[in-house]
Amino acid sequence: MAEREKLVLAYSGGLDTSVAIRWLKDQGYDVVALTIDLGEKKDLDAIQERALQVGASAAYVVDGKKKFLELFVWPSLQAGAVYEKEYPLATAIGRPLIAAMLVQVARQENAQGIAHGCTGKGNDQVRFDVSTQALAPELKVVAPVREWGMNREDEIEYAAQHGIPVPASVESPYSTDENLWGRSIEAGILEDPWAEPPGDVWDWTRDPRDCPDEPTYVEIGFKEGIPVSLDGKPVDSVTLVETLNQAGGQNGVGRIDHLENRLVGIKSREIYEAPAAVILLQAHQALEDITLTKDVARFKDVVAAQWAQMVYDGLWFSPLREALYAFVKHTQRHVNGEVRLKLYKGTSMVAGRKSKDQLYRMELATYGRGDQFDQSAAAGFIKLWGQGVRTASQVQGQLHSLDLSALVGGDVKKLTAGGE
């Protein structure tokens, strides 16, 4: 008998991957399950046992929280990456790490490929496939959900027929994914973009109406764009994010309802909860506002958008992202200091920021005593600044389509020194 091909499956313990173990086994594969803890707060021992119960020949569980934050989240935070101005990329940032660990275990197990539970309509399939191609082009990639032709209801029925325990039912059809950087929810009633998300969708964040009546203040310290302290005390990355998720969630911060553009060309309605991500991105931006020069800050916005697009599109392991990080890292040399935020009934607001490297100078900004700004230089500067516009107007005439005569019409009352 020919030896079975071995696959390492990214196993979440949910519906798709639980069904996938049995289905892959029926297709003739030897399946090794790999579960990576990125902060999902799941019973990992139970998931590991379930994988073996369903049919995996071996089951790995790996704690990836620290590596996730320090190798993937922090560079994205330094970049200021937010997809389409709303999504902090929680799931998208986690996939390249999972792919890298799949490759590592596949090599340890002498496997011929990796497998994942992504659908053919989503973005995660691209992230897994392309990351694997970049890291180990010799490995095959198998995606059962793209192949078996079952919809979600069919999978639930398949699981029931084969005695596969899964945390999903026809009555509760939400598909969720979570890690330390955020929680995503889709499917069910959420597929209707007109429908308000029902209360049972939210798990990490309180309804703002039920939040404390007094605000919560947090102070975050940064070193070279990376958060290193909370309320004046040094803190490790995992504890920092967990604490901010709890503080933000208690104050209703971090709810996102995003109608996003998927890589495969369709629009999708996604619900996210990301208290720590929202807070840290806001704090980091506030510190950059006070430490980066205008031209660097504005160009960095372009880099942030490009970074977010690449990560969303599954191109973490790409030459361009590596090159962009060289720029991002250089910009972060002086992003040091503290930011204080006020969390209150669903909002997060910057309440203060300071840095030893800040470019904000009181003696230049103040309108009070101590003003050292040379106002006498302004007239000459403005004359030179407007030289091109003034010359064009003199030579070519009117430079705009605005009808000036229409601006001051009959609805004007004029009063002169001698009377009306």
Question: Which of the residues are catalytic?
Answer: 16, 95, 124, 175
Rounded Cα gap, residues 302 and 299, in angstroms: 5
Is the CB of residue 341 less than 8 Å from the CB of residue 279?
yes
Task: Please enumerate in sequence order all residues whose Cβ is within 8 A of that of 135, keeping only pairs 6 or more positions apart, or say none.
Answer: 99, 100, 103, 317
3-state DSSP assignment of residue 380: helix
Q: Write out the two tokens for 383.
A: 């004359």
Cβ neighbours for 362, distance < 8 A, ≥ 6 positions apart: 370
Q: What is the distance, to the nearest Å, from the Cα of residue 277 to the centroid of all Cα atoms in its chain?
A: 7
Q: Which residue from 16, 15, 26 is spatially nearest to 55, judged by alpha carbons?
A: 26
What does the alpha-carbon distance between residue 358 and residue 3 come to, in Å, rounded to a whole number?
64
* DSSP sequence for 39-96: S----HHHHHHHHHHHT-SEEEEEE-HHHIIIIIIHHHHHHT--BTTTB--HHHHHHH
Cα separation, 310 vs 280, whole angstroms: 21
